[in-house]
Chains A and B, each alone.
Chain A
Amino acid sequence: MKKAFIALIPLTVFLILIVLLFVNLSTHNEVLPSPLIGKKIPAFEHPTLYSNKTLNQDDFKGEPWLLNVFGSWCPSCQYEHPLVTALANSGRIKVIGLNWKDEAEDADRWLKRWGDPYHEILVDFEGDTAINLGVYGAPETFLIDADGTIVYKISGVLTQKNIQQELLPLIDQLSDREVSL
């Protein structure tokens, strides 16, 4: 009898381990909370790609907006581009592009090919603003309210799911707030 119990020890240890791994797998998330959420967007000043202006953070005050970090060199940006386009065309929010570390020529060719849904495109050739925003890699998308406070951030591509479940409810909230003000 005692021997039979000893023989069961390895299996028991293993089962505990498996349960632990399973629990971990279902609860674990890689979401890295951005320390910038709830703070003002860092100050910036960038030329735009097409409109021959230089814009800073204050130029966007007055209504909520979405900052989409992209580059022509980034295949995932191309992947999410139809969704960015749909979101911009829906008119629910103003979408600003941050063209990150890109040659103007390449960006232009890319936008001609895949379409330009952006209200304005800021050119961050040196990547300074991206660094201030703590961008890990393109694409990343920031939701900013009418006062210039960062409300939400999505690292990686936009998907139907995160637009529907995360972004749109927040956008609606922001618009409501604006109306009630």
Chain B
Amino acid sequence: MLASIGQFLLILSLVTAVVLMLVPMIGYFKNNDAMMRTGRPLSYLLFVLTLATFLILVSLFVIQDFSVTYVWQHSSLALPLRYRITATWGAHEGSVLMWVTVQALWIAAVARYSRSLSLNQISRVLSVLGIIATGFLAFVLFASNPFEITNPAPLDGRDLNPLLQDFGMIIHPPLLYFGYVGLSVAFSLAVAALIGGQIDEKWIRWSRRWTNLAWAFLTVGIILGSWWAYYELGWGGWWFWDPVENASFLPWLAATALIHVQAVSERKNAFRGWTVLLAIIAFSLCVLGTFLVRSGSITSVHSFAADPFRGIFILVLLAIYAGGALTLYALRVNQLRSRDTINLESKETMLLANSLIFITSTFTILLGTVFPMIFDALGKKISVGEPYFGLMFFLLMIPMAVLMPLGAQLKWHKDQMSIAIKALIPHFFIAAVMTIAAYFIFDTLNLRATAGVFGGFWIASTSIGQIINFPGKPNAGFVGMSVAHLGVAVFLFGMSMAEHKDVEKDILLKPGQTTSVSGYDFTFNGVESVAIENYQAQQGSIQVSRQGQEIVELNPQKRFYPKQQQPMTEADIYPGFTKDIYVSLGEQINSQGDWAVRIYIKPFIRWMWFGGLMMMAGAVIALFSKRSKRQELEQVDQVMQQRLGLS
């Protein structure tokens, strides 16, 4: 019953999206105000309908309605309530529905907070967003319907994949979707501008804040994914260059290029075409990522059930969205002429360089991700892994780290490179001295770690210097930038240390035996069986101490979920400011209670995620820029005056 209502609401949502896609756009071409004005109410309606649909799916999980195929496949009687709720987006169908719901939320937000755009602008933007919503709603309805019924209903469900029964899973996907979908706003604006054949500062200023917000969500979504992989997958890694991780990283890189170019194009009549192109690329990569993940084209730890029909469907969507946008781009971009000249020695040039570095990185990683597919098409199997990605990314980030402080130092419009470089030289020496100090404190670092640590100190030192020397009262834009750039420094330092100075020990321990790793003593007190909620676990007890001083007892688990017949390794971690102590259980070796135990010391690993959070915070702070708020208010006034003047 409830499922049928959900089905019905889903169809209504699709119809609403189709109307939103058509009516305001037709209104724009016919210059019909009444039709254009339907954009906003339709957007609100679309959001209400998709949200209701989504909530019905959640309720089906809560009330355990196993007549719904999607519910019994991903839930069970034994599954605790909190995971029943999150199971809603734990697999393909529900996660696409969530994507659409988040999309509708963004559309409604765009409709609500767009007073600074004129009617014919906003109607185009909403219509383009309507095209995207239509595509994905059709995808849900025709290729991944979560409301399909199984008859007769099974008595119990198949249970949720144990990996997903975790706090990280509750929040990681929604945040990531907020980021992905958020980029559709910048995309829609770019397409709407191409349709109209012109783009001005107001448009870019307006879209910049949405891009910032989407970028912030994307950043925190990726960080959470990394953190989750670290503690849940039990082998201590935090980034695997897995195709699905790349799928989230590619739009992030492109969006990073975009937000930096927008900083120029909102101020000047420059880089217009480039801004538009980057906005198209960023969102297209989100859709491409969805394709890679959902079509089963690539093998990955994140794989969803492979279904060629879904693959074709998303490929068609990608062809329509990106193909359509790029065709428009090819036809119209030369109308978006950038009139202002850019001086070579200026912040603008540096921001352009930044975008080129990031877009090169994007395509380097894209190439590595699709390369196995090229070989697959030729009938060969290869895999491109960490060695390629790690090295390429390291090389590409060198110019990024070198130029970032210079870009922040140079003034807008026109400056002298020599003066900026002179101002930075002391920081170069500070960073060099600190790196040498770090080299000895941490007992030698390898080449990459040294470069990374130096980059971190270099960016941190210059950023702090620029904050101290900032003339007058710092505005939110500057503070946001500095916080984000300091985040990059913190990230670089944490990553270099965690990657290159970690200690790893696999050891066989008898109950009562003590082993020593990096000055810490680990005493193994055996393993006992415990039964918790819907799983049984072999829980180890390991006392960590240092020079006889007890620090903490760690309880890593080897879990077994009877429903899924799947063992799970649950590491236990003692987090710390300068290092994490990470213990996980391997296998039981014999009947005397001897176990293979894995012990890691991960120095500064938290700094990496904290640095990411600082980047996110920087993007959020920049939203509160007084300058952009003042300019937006001016824009609102202009729009109002135009409207009054016309009527």
Contacts and interface: CB of A to CB of B under 8 A. Distances in A.
Nearest to A4: B334
A4 B331 CA distance: 8
A7 B72 CA distance: 50
B518 interface: no
A3 B562 CA distance: 64
Contact of A28 (B73, B291, B376): B376
A11 interface: yes
A11 B319 CA distance: 10
B284 interface: yes
Contacts of B480: none
A14 B308 contact: no
B28 interface: no
A26 B326 CA distance: 25
A46 interface: no
A72 to B, nearest CB: 11
Given A3-B334, A24-B377, A75-B158, A30 B319 contact: no
B376 A14 contact: no
Given A14-B284, A75-B72, A21 B326 contact: no
Given A7-B330, A24-B377, A14 B297 contact: no
A71 B322 CA distance: 46
Interface residues of A, number: 25
Interface stretch (B11-19, B177-185, B310-318, B538-546): B310-318
Nearest to B318: A18
Contact of B373 (A15, A18, A20, A73): A20
B526 to A, nearest CB: 23
Interface string A1-18: 001100110110011011
A173 interface: no
B323 A25 contact: no
Interface string B286-308: 00100100011101000000101
Contacts of A25: 295, 297, 308, 311-312, 315
A18 B319 contact: yes
B235 to A, nearest CB: 20
A23 B377 contact: yes
B597 interface: no
B158 A11 contact: no
B377 A27 contact: yes
Contacts of A24: 297, 373-374, 376-377
B46 interface: no
Interface string A86-108: 00000000000000010000000
A44 interface: no
A76 to B, nearest CB: 8
A166 B296 CA distance: 22
A3 B337 CA distance: 11
A73 B565 contact: yes
B535 to A, nearest CB: 14
Interface string B70-83: 00110000000000
A101 B565 contact: yes
Contacts of A3: 334
Contacts of B158: 75
B202 interface: no
Contacts of A7: 273, 329-331, 333-334
B327 interface: yes
A22 interface: yes
Nearest to A17: B370
A132 to B, nearest CB: 17
A12 to B, nearest CB: 9
A18 B323 contact: yes
B474 interface: no
Interface in B270-287: 273, 277, 280-281, 284
Interface in A19-67: 20-28, 30
Given A18-B315, A30-B296, A75 B154 contact: yes
A78 B150 CA distance: 13
A166 to B, nearest CB: 18
B72 A27 contact: no
B411 interface: no
Among A23, A25, A78, A101, find the residue whose CB has the most chain B CB atoms closer than 10 A: A25
A177 to B, nearest CB: 31
B166 to A, nearest CB: 21
B563 interface: yes
A75 B280 CA distance: 43
B192 to A, nearest CB: 18
B76 to A, nearest CB: 10
B75 to A, nearest CB: 12
A22 B319 CA distance: 11
A20 B326 contact: no
Contacts of A75: 72-73, 154, 158
A26 B297 CA distance: 9
A171 to B, nearest CB: 27
10 contacts: A7-B329, A7-B334, A8-B330, A10-B326, A14-B322, A15-B323, A18-B323, A21-B370, A25-B297, A25-B311
A-B pairs, top 6 by smallest CB distance, nearest first, are A11-B326, A24-B373, A7-B330, A7-B333, A25-B311, A8-B330
Interface of B: 72-73, 154, 158, 273, 277, 280-281, 284, 288, 291, 295-297, 299, 306, 308, 311-312, 315, 318-319, 322-323, 326-327, 329-331, 333-334, 370, 373-374, 376-377, 379, 562-563, 565
Given A10-B280, A21-B297, A21-B315, 4 more contacts: A10-B329, A11-B330, A18-B315, A25-B295
